[in-house]
Structure 1
Amino acid sequence: MSDRSPASGGETPPRPSRASLRTAVVWDVLQDAIDRRAKAVGADALDVLDTGGGTGNFAVPLARLGHRVTVVDPSPNALFALERRAAEAGVAERVRGVQGDVHGLFDVVGREGFDVVLCHGVLEYVDDPAEGLRNTVDALRPGGALSLLAAGLGGAVLARALAGHFAEAHRALDDPDGRWGEGDPVPRRFTAEQLTELVSATGAEVSAVHGVRVFADLVPGVLVDTEPGALEALLRLEAAAAELAAFRSVATQLHVLAERQA
């Protein structure tokens, strides 16, 4: 994966801290996709839609790169925090928050209005993942890029097993939604095959699949915080393992990059 800045010439998002390490792989992939799209359309600033974007973990840094970002989220509290965060970052004029969700997406935004659409942490919670994903793809302009991030089944099974909850790990394997029990806070998890099938069913073309948080959730925080160079080494390890199917299958999250066909 490249460390290039997007074609906008803006600043690169800061290198991961302990808190942001979990999204480093996604950032690298997303930056490359934005770079390619900007060059393809000959524009420095792109129109980006962040569905379920909440308080702006991705939206605000993207706006700092010069892009125009619309965040659609059902939570008014999250949107209020987004507005404040964008103002503090000096990008309020490039960030717009609207209340809504992927099922009613076109009540608040137009079809084919965006160069890039982020659908991060959404499909786990919606009533109909297939419909929600179709809407996100329909919001793309032809040739636009979809960044899809969802909870991975394998990572949950591995985490429960390593915690000694073997029955729960087994239950997650057998459950149609990948849930390990009634106390599971995640309504639905996916395999890489399920996600790519959902994307392909919309007519979009999958270009890459990455495992996210393969090791980050398993390594003790004290080790990363106290060992010199551990954070950077873990980042490099995550990046190296992200594209390998053997590790992707046990990642906490799965990232799919796709393109809407013309």
Structure 2
Amino acid sequence: MGDERGYQPGTDRYFDGLAEKFAETMYGASRGKLRLARVQAHIQEHIPLEPGQRVLDIGGGLGQMSAWARAQGLSPVLVEPSMDMLTFARAALGDDIPCVQSDLQTFARSAAEPFDLVLCHAMLEWMAHPEEALPLLYSQVKPGGWLSLMVFNLDALRFSNIVKGNTTRVVEDRNLAGKGRHKRLTPISPMTHDQVSQWITAAGFECRAVAGIRVFHDYLRERAPDDKTLEELLELETRFGAQEPYWRLGRYLHYCLQRPEAS
């Protein structure tokens, strides 16, 4: 599979060479801080967390969610295919959180036992065939366990392009997905809620909650909101992020999914 320096269309995209860019332009910026805050809050609202639960952070990137899971008293394992991202995560997390270099497909074939909770955030949209991920994720969740799934929303991508004036691109419905070139971070496989819902049902999960993540932030005229605005945005995202019609235009969609007990 290719990375940002040699990505091959039709393959999953990894992020070797982009760890610093993610740290600075994503998680060092308001959009990353808001994303983490809302996802973590939505998990705590809908997924029961108990000390000692085993957690798989698949496609865990720089390790922020694994660090959060550890702070909740959980026992995370971070799995990430990019060595650059994994090196960054290992330095940030220390030795008490296992960090494994692998993709979902390989890890699912070798994992010894399923987990109480699987975190899969902003990974499916970088897969060439994201529809194949849900059955693999299902196999990693124990009966009665949970999957926290976050995906990049194609409907929001369309709306954002219209707001930015890229109307021809949307009218022709072309060139919306990323090409995997250079350091551009538009995903190669954005998806709609209807698509994801079909995959969720087909895999056997039951959806307990869904919310939009960054339903307002990405449409601001001011791209770098000050602290007061960011605080108010967080309040608004919390208030409206799971309400119709707002959640459907979240840059990301976050699903709290449960594997049935008798499965």
Q: Same fold (TM over 0.5)?
A: yes
Which residue pairs with 1:128 in the alignment? 129
Q: Give CA deviations for 1:194-219 in whole Å, capped at 9, x if unaligned.
A: 11211111111011111111111122
SS in 2 for 1:199: helix
In the aligned structure 2, how far is the partner of 1:111 from the partner of 1:45? 15
Which residue pairs with 1:72 in the alignment? 79
Which residue pairs with 1:235 in the alignment? 234
Backbone CA RMSD of aligned residues: 2.3
In the aligned structure 2, how far is the partner of 1:242 from the partner of 1:233? 13
Aligned partner letter, 2:171: H
Which residue pairs with 1:253 in the alignment? 252
Q: Under a length normalisation based on structure 2, what TM-score does the superposition of the two structures give?
A: 0.79
The answer on 1:154 being equivalent to 2:161 is no
Q: Is the 8 A contact 2:127 2:189 kept in 1?
A: no
Q: Give CA deviations for 1:38-80 in whole Å, capped at 9, x if unaligned.
A: 2xxxxx2210001100110211121122211111111111111
Using the TM superposition, give the Cα deviation of residue 171 of structure 1 relative to its aligned residue in structure 2, in angstroms.
3.6
User: Which residues in structure 2 correspond to 1:171-250 (within 5 Å)?
Assistant: 171-172=172-173, 179=177, 185-219=186-220, 220-222=222-224, 224-225=225-226, 229-250=228-249
User: Which residues in structure 2 correspond to 1:42-191 (within 5 Å)?
Assistant: 44-87=51-94, 92-93=95-96, 95-112=97-114, 114-172=115-173, 179=177, 185-191=186-192
Aligned partner letter, 1:207: R
In the aligned structure 2, how far is the partner of 1:164 from the partner of 1:248? 23
Aligned partner letter, 2:64: N
Instruction: Sort the Cα spacing of 1:134 and 1:230 in 2 relative to 1 into closer, same or farther, 3 A.
Output: same
Q: Relative contact order: is structure 1 or structure 2 higher (C-alpha 8 Å, sep ≥ 6)?
A: 2
Q: Structure 2 unaligned segments of length 5 or more: list them.
A: 1-27
Instruction: Sort the Cα spacing of 1:82 and 1:182 in 2 relative to 1 into closer, same or farther, 3 A.
Output: closer
Q: Is the 8 A contact 2:38 2:238 kept in 1?
A: yes
Q: Structure 1 unaligned segments of length 5 or more: list them.
A: 1-15, 39-43
Q: Is the 8 A contact 1:195 1:256 kept in 2?
A: no
Using the TM superposition, give the Cα deviation of residue 33 of structure 1 relative to its aligned residue in structure 2, in angstroms.
4.0
Q: Give CA deviations for 1:13-46 in whole Å, capped at 9, x if unaligned.
A: xxx9834112322111112344x242xxxxx221
Moved over 6 A (4+): 180-184
Using the TM superposition, give the Cα deviation of residue 109 of structure 1 relative to its aligned residue in structure 2, in angstroms.
2.2
In the aligned structure 2, how far is the partner of 1:187 from the partner of 1:171? 18
Q: Is the 8 A contact 1:199 1:205 kept in 2?
A: yes
Q: Under a length normalisation based on structure 1, what TM-score does the superposition of the two structures give?
A: 0.80
In the aligned structure 1, how far is the partner of 2:45 from the partner of 2:247? 20
Q: Is the 8 A contact 1:212 1:248 kept in 2?
A: yes
> Which residue among 26, 29, 32 is the counterpart of 2:42?
29
The answer on 1:20 being equivalent to 2:33 is yes
Instruction: Sort the Cα spacing of 1:181 and 1:164 in 2 relative to 1 into closer, same or farther, 3 A.
Output: farther
The total of aligned residue pairs comes to 229
